[in-house]
Amino acid sequence: MNWLFFLLILGFTNTEPYPSTTWGFHSHKMINRLAVFTLPPTMVSFYKYHIYEITQGAVRADQRRYANKEEAPRHYIDLDYYGPGVPEQWVEAQELFPIDSMQAHGILPWHLRLIKFKLTKAMVSQDAAAVLSLSADAGHYIADAHVPLHTTSNYNGQKSGQQGIHGFWETRIPELFWDSFDLWVGKARYRNNYYCDLWDVLWSSYNGVDSVLKIEKRLSIAFPPDSKFGYEQRNKQVVRVYSRRFSRAYHRQLNRQVEHKVREAIKFIGDFWYTCWIDAGQPNLHQLTKPLQAIELDKMDEYWQYGHVSRDSITLK
C-alpha cells in the first residue's frame, strides 16, 4: 500500500492544502516591512525604529478574527454582491443594503476610511502607540484589498469546485517564489484622493478573479491529481500541498499576478501612511523615537533618494 495513502487513512495528514486566511503571516509581515522603506527620512526615522512593531503588527488583524466577530468583514468586500453601482459613501451604502448583509459581504473600504481618520488624528496628537497600531492594521487591510479573492463571494473556490484556491494564491505561491519577486517600488507619494484610488484597487482586484479561477481550472484538467498535489512535512505533520510544478505553471500563466499585487500593496501602504502624515500637518515623528546617529539618518536619506535597500535591512529575523 502506498505510504501516503496509508497516512491519509490514519488521519495523520492535513488534506486541506491551505486554509483560507489572508495572504499568509509571512507575506503580510514582509509587505508592511517593505512599505517602511518607501517613506521619506522625516517619517522613516520613526517607522524604521519601530519596524519590529510594524512588521509583527501586520498580522494582528487576522488574529483578532478569532476573538471579535466584527473583525472578519473588515478584510474583504464581495463586489459581485454589491454590484458596480455600490455607493462609496457608508451612509449611502446603508440606505441600499441592510447592515447585516453588509457585515456578511464585507466592509473593507468603509472600514479603511475610518482607519485613515484615526491614523491622521493619532499623528496630530503624537500618540506613538496608536500610530504604530493603526499603521500596522492599515497595511493589513490594504494588502487584503489587493487580493482578487477578497473581492468575491467565491473567495475560496467553494462555488466552482476549487476549494483551497484562496490559500494557494495567497500562501503557496509567495512561499515558493518570494525570493524571485522584484519588490522595489520607489518613493511614497501623496494621494489627493486615496479613497477613490482604493476603490480602483478593489475593482482591479475583482477584475482579476476570472483569471485566478479559470487558469487554475484549466491547469487542473492538464495535471493529473498526483501531479497537482504533493506532500511535505510541516511541524512534524505530513500535509498535502500544491506541487511545485503545478504552482510554477500557475504562477507563469497568471503572468506573475501575485508578485504584481504584492508590489502594488507595498506602494499603496507607503502612500497611505505618507498621506496621513501630510494631512496631519507633517508632525515631527522623529521626536517620538530615541535619537538616531547621523550615519543612520544618512542611510535613510539614501534609501529615499535612490530607492535602494539592502536585503539585510528587510529580511525577517
Task: List, for residues 192-206, the tens digit of each pLDDT value.
Answer: 999 999 999 999 999
Query: Given this model, what pLDDT does residue 12 score?
Result: 35
pTM for this one?
A: 0.86
Query: Given this model, what pLDDT does residue 5 score?
Result: 36
* Residue 225 covered by a domain: no
How far is it, in rounded angstroms, from Cα 195 to Cα 16?
36
Query: Given this model, what pLDDT does residue 288 score?
Result: 78
* Residue 231 covered by a domain: no
* Residue 219 covered by a domain: no
Name the region of 83 (left: φ>0; alpha: ψ -120 to 50; beta: rest). left
* Residue 132 covered by a domain: yes
Which residue range is the domain that position 106 belongs to? 23-210+259-314
Query: Given this model, what pLDDT does residue 295 score?
Result: 45
* Residue 234 covered by a domain: no
Q: Residue 182: which CATH number?
A: 1.10.575.10
pLDDT confidence tier of residue 303, bands split at 50, 70 and 90:
low
The number of folded domains in the chain is 1
Which residues is 142 bridged to in the sheet? none
Query: Given this model, what pLDDT does residue 10 score?
Result: 33
Report which residue type is found at 47.
Y
Dihedral, 144, 170, 17, 208 alpha carbons, nearest 10: 90
**% of residues, the chain, pLDDT over 90:** 77
Q: 240-268 pLDDT, tens per residue?
A: 999 999 999 999 999 999 999 999 999 99
Query: Given this model, what pLDDT does residue 17 score?
Result: 52
* Residue 131 covered by a domain: yes
Q: What is the mean pLDDT of residues 214-223?
A: 97
* Residue 122 covered by a domain: yes
Q: 131-168 pLDDT, tens per residue?
A: 999 999 999 999 999 999 999 999 999 999 999 999 99
pLDDT at 18 over 70: no
* Residue 307 covered by a domain: yes
Query: Given this model, what pLDDT does residue 301 score?
Result: 52
